[in-house]
Amino acid sequence: DKAGHRHFMAKEIAEQPEVIGDTIRHYLPSGDDMVNLPGDGVDFTKVQRLTMVACGTAYYACLTAKYWFEQIARLPVEVDVASEFRYREPPITEGTLALFVSQSGETADTLAALRYCRDKADQIVSVINVPESSIARESDLALPILAGVEIGVASTKAFTCQLTVLLMLAIKAAADRGELDPETMADHVAALRGLPAILNVALDQNDTIKAAAQRLSEARDVLFLGRGQMYPLALEGALKLKEISYIHAEAYASGELKHGPIALIDKHMPVVVMAPRDTLFDKTVSNMQEVMARRGKVMLISDDRGISEASEGVWETIRMPHIHTTLAPILYAIPAQLLAYHTAVAKGTDVDQPRNLAKSVTVE
């Protein structure tokens, strides 16, 4: 049932404020400022290092979470794609928490990586959408993301729910490790509780994004840029676009542009820049100017302040509401998804069932 939407993907994008609200309330029941984990939970005072493994969109959720675990909890983190991890035979040192992220819980590569960690890691934790799945069953602790059934092959609500759970886990890690004073903790929790309402404001930008996607659908290649915690989101935006619209898209950390990819820029190349007005913004703006100086077409996704400071010469702008910096990747996932969705619709591709792809990849 598409609940009045043309595609499951559109329905699943629209459901995000609601399901993310459910996820937050599950781990942070009202009146409580402490993140609650099921069962025996995780004692982060004993964790020295976090190894995160996943595939595709779930991998990008892990890459984003690396910024949170490092910055908020000061915990060393390593992230890898499951299909590489196991064959590298990485040494798993004492005090390692191995964390696997998977919507389906049946991805063969991720499951194999989990099995590699068994008897090596101190604790195996998974972040999953399907509680009865193999990955959930084979973990010491399974953390549900409560996204509900996701049908569209392109993962949307599962991604933002994964991010939400991972952020709450990072907050828990920070609290356990004494890295979070009560005030900052309360600040993070309040920001999380306010998130669903802000996501609704982003969804209201649907028509603007649809118009921007119309222009994007004429491109042959698209570049996505982001800095810091927005870099993994640029990767996710590029993956979404290629998956369903079949337009070649690549993502770079904004600062890497000058080390090669800038050679690709000409008047035919749209460059989507994901940049809330944060401490890295000025740097991103100078990268954007390098693009425009070579006649590249910049699509700037930012907030009021960012757009008023940096929209000169820009091809398209997409306005996001202001948000607590830490939560920006969750919010900016929405324009990334809508942009891919409307571009695919404009091109007439099969949005929910893109060619060559399956919802769950159970072969290695």
Q: Does 360 bind ligand M6R (CB under 6 A)?
A: yes
Residues 229-248 that bind ligand M6R (CB under 6 A): 243
Q: Does 134 bind ligand M6R (CB under 6 A)?
A: no
Q: How is the beta sheet containing 221-226 ordered, strand by strand?
A: 248-253, 221-226, 270-274, 297-303, 316-320
Q: Does 133 bind ligand M6R (CB under 6 A)?
A: no
Task: State the nearest-atom distance from the C-beta of 348 to ligand M6R, in Å.
Answer: 20
Q: How is the beta sheet containing 123-128 ordered, strand by strand?
A: 77-81, 49-54, 96-102, 123-128, 141-144
Task: State the nearest-atom distance from the C-beta of 260 to ligand M6R, in Å.
Answer: 25
Cβ-based neighbours of 49, under 8 Å, separated by 6 or more: 75, 76, 77, 78, 93, 95, 96, 97
Beta carbon nearer to ligand M6R, 157 or 277: 157
Task: State the nearest-atom distance from the C-beta of 26 to ligand M6R, in Å.
Answer: 19
Q: Which residues pair with 84 in a beta bridge?
A: none
Q: Does 343 bind ligand M6R (CB under 6 A)?
A: no
316-320 and 297-303 beta bridge pairing: parallel
Q: Does 55 bind ligand M6R (CB under 6 A)?
A: yes
Residue number closest to ligand M6R, CB atom: 56
Chosen residue from 9, 35, 50, 58 binding ligand M6R by CB under 6 A: 58
Beta carbon nearer to ligand M6R, 186 or 357: 357
**Amino acid at the residue 258:** K
Contact in structure between 244 and 9 (CB atoms under 8 Å): yes
Q: Does 202 bind ligand M6R (CB under 6 A)?
A: no
Residue with tokens 């920070």: 174
Task: State the nearest-atom distance from the C-beta of 111 to ligand M6R, in Å.
Answer: 9
Contact in structure between 126 and 25 (CB atoms under 8 Å): no
For residue 359, indicate whether it is catalytic. yes
Contact in structure between 213 and 338 (CB atoms under 8 Å): yes
CA 233, CA 120: separation in Å to the nearest integer?
Answer: 31
CA 151, CA 88: separation in Å to the nearest integer?
Answer: 33
Q: Does 164 bind ligand M6R (CB under 6 A)?
A: no
Chosen residue from 17, 56, 296, 335 binding ligand M6R by CB under 6 A: 56
Residues 260-319 that bind ligand M6R (CB under 6 A): none
3-class DSSP state for residue 41? coil
CA 197, CA 284: separation in Å to the nearest integer?
Answer: 28
Task: Read off φ and ψ for residue 197, nearest 5 degrees.
Answer: -65, -40
Site string for ligand M6R, 15-54 (x = CB under 6 A): ----------------------------------------
Q: Does 361 bind ligand M6R (CB under 6 A)?
A: yes
Active site residues per annotation: 359
Give residues in contact with ligand M6R (CB under 6 A). Answer: 55-58, 102-104, 107, 110, 153-155, 243, 360-361
